[in-house]
Amino acid sequence: MGHKVVVFDISVIRALWETRVKKHKAWQKKETERLEKSALEKIKEEWNFVAECRRKGIPQAAYCKNGFVDTSVRLLEKIERNTVARQSSLSKERDKRSSAFVFELSGEQWTELPDSLKEQTHLKEWHISNTLIQIIPTYIELFQAMRILDLPKNQISCLPAEIGRLKNLQELNVSFNCLKSIPPELGDCENLEKLDCSGNLELTELPFELSNLKQVTFVDISANKFASVPICVLRMCNLQWLDLSNNSLNDLPQDIDRLEELQTFLLYKNKLTYLPYALLNLKKLTLLVVSGDHLVELPTALCDSSTPLKFVSLMDNPLDNTRCQDDVEVMESERDRQCFDKEFLKAYIEDVKERESVPSYTTKVSFSLQL
């Protein structure tokens, strides 16, 4: 028996496949139209965009405006450029910190500065933190090129009067130490721009001589025992940032409007019962943070959405502080709590500042904070 040969007309096969191709293209077109009309695709796009931004460390405020996610390619490119620029700036800062003009020291094994430091008078920056060092030696006056004294979280109990001879000093950070006073000679550092004395817990006043610091733009004296705004601070005509939080303020001076350049004013966790109307005269004030639990009077214009001021009311819930028998442990615990408090508020304030516009119904923000 011979083989059977089946013969098909090629035109029939071609027509069959052309029909199938047309049906498939029509289905694809219909499916594409369905996806375009579906909200799921938009949600998926937004989630992928948000995930990409978070992966690259981009803050939410940069791509989310009033609850809506901007997924435009231009925005992402702009954010990436800004991120690269910031990373480049940080890289340059690290290179600067590693230069031969910078001295760094950290660790509890250090109880005093090394003797060799005395010979390195060419240094422009000291970065000393988390040590048990208690004394800054008087030979610091030899470092005439000094620009930055960054001395946070040590055990420093006093600053030498010789610090006033550092005429080129621009930044002084002695936060979270054991200082009970600031030498009046610091007022001779005429080029000082930034002063941070926060977290010492025992500071009650600043010397009047600091009124000579006309270049200062940043003052942080939070977490101390100030009962009033230091007079010298009111004389700092270029001051832009003032942090007086976590003190014992009962009121603000009526001449607080002398600080015409003030932009950020932090007052939370004090004993204020009212805010003076003089605050309304600070035309450059954009951010005011004040503990709302003791306030009984508030200038209503502070909450006016037509002003550039972003007013934040923090209604705190203070914890019952049980006193330990060991006073040292109490002080250390208090410093840790104050440090955490500052970090939390710093993150929140940065988020508020990143918002380009604030709707009137969120101009005043109230929430409960328990540490």
Q: Is residue 176 part of a domain?
A: yes
Residues 67 and 140 in one domain: no
Give 359's pLDDT tier (boundaries 50, 70, 90). very low
Q: List helix spans (H) across 122-269.
A: 231-234
Residues 183 and 220 in one domain: yes
Give 127's pLDDT tier (boundaries 50, 70, 90). very high
Torsion angle (degrees, nearest 10) of CA 301, 304, 307, 311: 80
Q: Which amino acid is at 217?
A: T
* Contact criterion met (CB below 8 Å) for 196 and 218: yes
Q: For the chain, what is the domain count?
A: 2
Residues 145 and 284 in one domain: yes
Q: How far is CA 19 from CA 23, 30, 72, in A?
A: 6, 17, 40
**Reduced to 3 states, what is the DSSP secondary structure of residue 90?**
helix
Give 289's pLDDT tier (boundaries 50, 70, 90). confident
Residues 73 and 148 in one domain: no
Q: Give me 253's structure tokens.
A: 């001076």
Whether residue 296 is predicted with pLDDT greater than 80 in this model: the reply is no
pLDDT of the residue at 310: 76
Q: Is residue 139 part of a domain?
A: yes
Rounded CA-CA distance 255/300 in Å is 19
Q: Is residue 69 part of a domain?
A: yes
Q: Is residue 157 part of a domain?
A: yes
Q: For the domain that residue 253 is a member of, what is the CATH number?
A: 3.80.10.10
Rounded CA-CA distance 63/59 in Å is 8
pLDDT of the residue at 18: 79
pLDDT of the residue at 323: 40
Q: Which residue has the higher pLDDT, 75 or 301?
A: 301
Give 171's pLDDT tier (boundaries 50, 70, 90). very high
Quick one: average pLDDT of 253-279? 91
Residues 198 and 61 in one domain: no
Residues 168 and 63 in one domain: no
Residues 213 and 132 in one domain: yes
pLDDT of the residue at 290: 85
pLDDT in tens, 40-62: 666 777 777 777 777 766 666 66
Rounded CA-CA distance 321/97 in Å is 40
Residues 68 and 188 in one domain: no
pLDDT in tens, 304-316: 666 677 777 665 5
pLDDT of the residue at 83: 59
Give 319's pLDDT tier (boundaries 50, 70, 90). very low
Q: Is residue 184 part of a domain?
A: yes
Task: Give backbone dihedrals phi and psi of 77, rounded to 5 degrees, phi first.
Answer: -65, -40
Residues 219 and 306 in one domain: yes
Quick one: average pLDDT of 191-198? 97
Residues 59 and 165 in one domain: no
Q: Which of 252, 250, 301 is nearest to 242 (CA)?
A: 252
Neighbours of 143 (CB within 10 A): 25
Q: Which amino acid is at 345?
A: L
Q: Which of 180, 167, 176 is nearest to 206 (CA)?
A: 180
Q: Which of 77, 108, 129 is the last residue of a domain?
A: 77
Residues 70 and 121 in one domain: no
* Contact criterion met (CB below 8 Å) for 153 and 129: yes
Residues 115 and 226 in one domain: yes
pLDDT of the residue at 367: 39
Q: What is the DSSP letter of 122?
A: T
Whether residue 284 is predicted with pLDDT greater than 60 in this model: the reply is yes
pLDDT in tens, 67-103: 566 656 455 565 556 656 666 666 566 555 557 799 9
Q: Is residue 369 part of a domain?
A: no
Q: 45 is in which domain, residue-wise? A: 37-77
User: Average pLDDT, whole number, for the chain?
Assistant: 79
Q: Give me 337's structure tokens.
A: 């709590």
Q: Which residue has the higher pLDDT, 337 or 175?
A: 175
pLDDT of the residue at 369: 40
Q: Is residue 89 part of a domain?
A: no
Q: Is residue 172 part of a domain?
A: yes
